[in-house]
Amino acid sequence: MIINVHAGHNPDGRVACGAIGIIRESTEARRVKDAVISGLRQLGHTVYDCTCENGTSQVNVLSRIVVACNAHKADLDVSIHFNSGARDAAGNGRTTGTEVLVYSLTAGAINYARQICEAVSTLGYKNRGVKARPDLSVLRNTKAPALLVECCFVDDKDDVQLYDCQKMADAIVYGITGQHVESVKDSDSDQNVEAPGSETPTGDKKKLYRVQVGAYSVAGNAVATQAKLKAAGFDAIIVSA
């Protein structure tokens, strides 16, 4: 498949940077987006990152995302977001949950949307289901079938306590492909599955060697380094420890 993936807002600290609660939508959407892209590429799919990093307004951010998506002849457009409005900072023992938005309930992305909802809900989130939102620009104006994932609520303590960036991304990847990334990593050694641009393994294929370029206590510094690496052509992700 050819898939466009993007985080739905400007970076934190800029105009139109998304919802802020116990966690920040912009930061977490980028973390999930990066992990989704990595997972899809490991499964052999062609993926374009259409995230906007320097929009001048909410309208401009959306416009830039649509232009970036429409520059590719894709099979699917995936927008990563986090929801807000639960107002449950104390926690009530129940998650507010996950949902996926599509242009209409007969749109081409509907089956992917349902599968993502089901996959994310297996992590423990309430399944809020698939909802039609023809008013949303990225669903209305992109050429490929499009969906918008509202991973969970930034202002619900129960959602945030359950949230794990990698698990969320893996569930989204599984919802799209029906495949687990780990199953590819652990598959028969005769099968050589690589991400585009990755090295050709010559040793033990079940070993992974990770390269780290920095560790930061301020999220914005990590995001800035990630942007520099991407500009240089490296597929960089941020992992919190």
pLDDT at 200: 39
How far is 230 from 232, CA to CA, in rounded Å?
5
pLDDT at 184: 53
Which residues of the chain fall below pLDDT 70?
183-212, 216-224, 227-228, 230-233, 239-241
- Coil, helix or strand at residue 175: helix
pLDDT at 1: 94
Each residue's pLDDT tens digit, 76-90: 999 999 999 999 999
Counting every residue written for the chain, the total comes to 241
Contact 205, 185 (CB under 8 A): no
pLDDT at 218: 57
pLDDT at 231: 60
**For the range 164-170, what are the long-range contacts, defined as Cβ-Cβ under 8 Å and sequence gap of 24 or more?**
164/123, 165/28, 165/31, 165/32, 165/35, 165/239, 165/240, 166/35, 166/239, 167/123, 168/32, 168/35, 168/120, 168/123, 169/32, 169/35, 169/36, 169/38, 169/39, 170/35, 170/39
Spatial CB neighbours of 98, under 8 Å, sequence gap ≥ 6: 117, 120, 121, 125, 126, 127, 128, 149, 150, 151, 152
Phi, psi of 203 (to 5 degrees): -110, -140
Each residue's pLDDT tens digit, 169-207: 999 999 999 999 875 554 444 444 344 444 434 444 445
pLDDT at 182: 74
